[in-house]
Amino acid sequence: MADCLFCRIIRREIPAQIVQEDEHALVFRDIQPQAPTHVLVIPKKHFGSLLDTSDADAVLLGRLQAAARRFAAEAGLSSFRLVANNGRGAGQSVDHLHYHLLAGRAMQWPPG
C-alpha cells in the first residue's frame, strides 16, 4: 500500500528507530511508548489486520512471533507482553498488521 505508514517505514521513506530486521519482519521502537520497552513487530508484507491473513500466511505469522522472541532475548527480557489490536474498536490506529511488545513495567490484567 503506497500510503500505509508502516509500508513507508519499510521502504525507508519515513525514519524509524529500527532495532531488528530480516526478510520477513521489521522491529522498531514505538514513537509513543507505553512502557520502558515498547517496540512494534510488523510483517514486510502488507496486511490491514490479522483478519486479512489466511491459513496460507501461517508461516509468516510464526516468523513475526520468532522476531518478537529474538528481540526479547537480545534485549534480555524475561517478561513481556505481546499484543495485536485488531480494528479501531480494539485500538488499532495503523491499518497494517503489527504486534506491540511491551516490557519494563508491571502489566495489568485485564488489559482493556
**Nearest in space to 80 (alpha carbons), one of 42, 37, 20, 48:** 37
Give catalytic residues, as residue numbers. Answer: 98
Neighbours of 45 (CB within 10 A): 14
The residue with cell 506491540 is 100
The one-letter amino acid at 80: F
